[in-house]
Amino acid sequence: MKLIFLVPFLIISLCAMKGPLTAGEAPKGILIIPMPGEITVLNGTFVMNGKTSIQAGQDILVKAEQLRAYLSPASGYMLPINKIISGENLIELKLSNELSSLGEEGYKLNITNQKVLITAYKITGIFWGIQTLRQLFPNEILREAEVAGVTWMIPCVNIVDKPRFKWRGLMIDYSRTFWNTRHTKKYIDAMAFYKMNRLHMHLTDDQGWRLQIDKYPELTAKASKFDTIYHEPKEREGFYSKDDIRELVRYAAAKNIEIIPEIEMPGHTSEVLSVFPGLSCTGELVSIHPNGKGKVNAKEFCAGKEETFTLLQNVLSEVIELFPSKYVHIGGDECDKARWEKCPFDQKRIKDEGLKDENELQSWFVRRIEKFINSKGKKLIGWDEISQGGLSKSATVMFWRGGKEKIVLDAVNQGNDVIMTPTSHLYFDYPYGGKYTDYPYNGISTERVYAYEPCSGILKNVNPEHILGVQANFWSHIDRTEPRMDRQIFPRLLSLAEVGWTESKNRNWDNFSLRLKHQYKSLDFLNIYYMDTNN
């Protein structure tokens, strides 16, 4: 067994080199994803053993403990903290003001025969340095029980690294299929391993309401369940209690991941209307369809009724109190305005507010909600339709309609921030290949995701400061079991991790493919299913 783990390092020693690598020239034995900014491979190796200790200042002791929790189970070593055994090797974590140019997330990793040193300007960077260190060890370091017969050896390297984009996200749709805490934690673990830092939870939609709201217990009592006539398996329904969310937020924050809640409005709200039919234009009886098909009911709030805003503001107050994230996502997509056209309440609102049409009514709706969110010290994100009918300057746009990049250009030119999640590359419910209904592309392969360049085409010269980053979206109406969901997301998420982190000049598909093969074993140990293709 040992020989297998030695192979990568034999390759390294054959190609031992001095000086930074150039584009696409990652050393064959360095199998890290995402590829760091600068790597210098040195001669020699560091071997973690029973006498290795960890050293860290009081201000980052928590990261030292986290590092030990990562390395101890598989190796079986105690890794004492701040108890240096003279003459033996050590792993040191250290904050340094001199590294401010690497930003909040950047870090340096220097490995010699005797010492591993991770330095960073902020604790966030220390954590990412720890992830790189984990990836340098044999994949078995991810196992939760002691693994015999492995030499815990890593190559001597100097790495200087920082991310390209600050937003490197994944959206999970909890409405069409509910995913529990255990499953979500598994995703947080995997995201952190690949330096992804935003989990966007799509908590409400036509197919179910998934968050406890104290003021409206009816929402979860009724709208977290599918209508029994559809015979949906029980595990697909449910909701998060406030304690569940607090636990997830804490768990994610310890791993540099911020959770962003989404509460949909004004469209995609059948589930709320099934509980409070009076909030639609028609007041008709609405039922929850598990896959969004079936009889067409009202699916949007009436923008003319004050009761709509009373409910939304009460809900948002609880959401804002629960999630520490700077952002609240309010949906805003695919609102059918046909009912607004015929509704006396909406027509009165349009007249009273001096609006031109229903598009401006949606824009007015979003701005009213944004004012409320801002008054609580938070920022609003919405799907790109929030730009229809006029966009507030402080809103952040989540761009999804691939092919319509003009939306991004206009928003950025107006000074808005944008997060790139286009259907053309980053919709992970879409298939890897082949034709698909309502789907204009010939599959989204892992390579297609890898080739995604957010600032290209008409966005080539766009102000990059307003492109916050990239995010994959997973809608759960087709793949509704854990293995199927995993295979839709992995390994495409690894491509995205590199798109979000690594400068485009350092990205190279052939080299990535080699590293990806190595990472499949890591995914095995993270208990994640994946599509085993390099296409």
- Residues forming contacts to Zn ion in the complex (CB under 5 A) are 281, 302, 304, 343, 345-346
Q: Which is nearer to Zn ion, 31 or 343 (CB)?
A: 343
Specify which residues 93 forms β-bridges with: 56, 118
Least separation in angstroms between residue 281's CB and Zn ion is 3
Q: Which is nearer to Zn ion, 79 or 302 (CB)?
A: 302
Contact between 71 and 97 under an 8 Å Cβ cutoff? The reply is: no
Buried b (16+ CB within 10 A) or exposed e, 447-486: bbbbebebeeeebeebeeebbbbbbbbbbbbebbebeebb
Q: Is 268 considered catalytic here?
A: yes
Contact between 82 and 58 under an 8 Å Cβ cutoff? The reply is: no
Specify which residues 329 forms β-bridges with: 262, 381
Least separation in angstroms between residue 373's CB and Zn ion is 22
State how far the alpha carbon of 98 is from the alpha carbons of 114, 172, 320, in Å.
Answer: 24, 38, 36
> For tokens 């870090």, what's the residue?
107
Least separation in angstroms between residue 304's CB and Zn ion is 5
Q: Which residue among 334, 357, 410, 532 is the active-site one?
A: 334
Least separation in angstroms between residue 314's CB and Zn ion is 20
Q: Is 334 considered catalytic here?
A: yes
Q: Which residue among 200, 202, 268, 289 is the active-site one?
A: 268
Least separation in angstroms between residue 306's CB and Zn ion is 12
CB atoms under 10 Å from CB of 34, counted, come to 29
Cα dihedral sign for 184, 186, 192, 196? negative
CA–CA separation, 197 and 243 (whole Å): 22
Q: Which is nearer to Zn ion, 346 or 479 (CB)?
A: 346
Q: Using DSSP bridges, classify how beta strands 90-95 and 115-120 pair: parallel, antiparallel or unpaired.
A: parallel
Q: Is 146 considered catalytic here?
A: no
> For tokens 């298939």, what's the residue?
431
Q: Which is nearer to Zn ion, 343 or 459 (CB)?
A: 343
- Sheet containing strand 90-95, edge to edge, reads 38-47, 153-161, 107-111, 115-120, 90-95, 53-56
Contact between 121 and 99 under an 8 Å Cβ cutoff? The reply is: yes
Q: Which is nearer to Zn ion, 289 or 305 (CB)?
A: 305
Least separation in angstroms between residue 346's CB and Zn ion is 4
Backbone phi and psi for residue 39, each to the nearest 5 degrees, phi listed first: -130, 130
Q: Which residue among 173, 205, 405, 498 is the active-site one?
A: 205
Q: Which is nearer to Zn ion, 281 or 373 (CB)?
A: 281
Specify which residues 108 forms β-bridges with: 119, 160
Q: Which is nearer to Zn ion, 345 or 520 (CB)?
A: 345
State how far the alpha carbon of 141 is from the alpha carbons of 15, 71, 111, 370, 445, in Å.
Answer: 25, 6, 18, 46, 29
Q: Which two tokens stand for residue 204?
A: 């409400």
Least separation in angstroms between residue 300's CB and Zn ion is 8
- Residues marked active site are found at 205, 268, 334
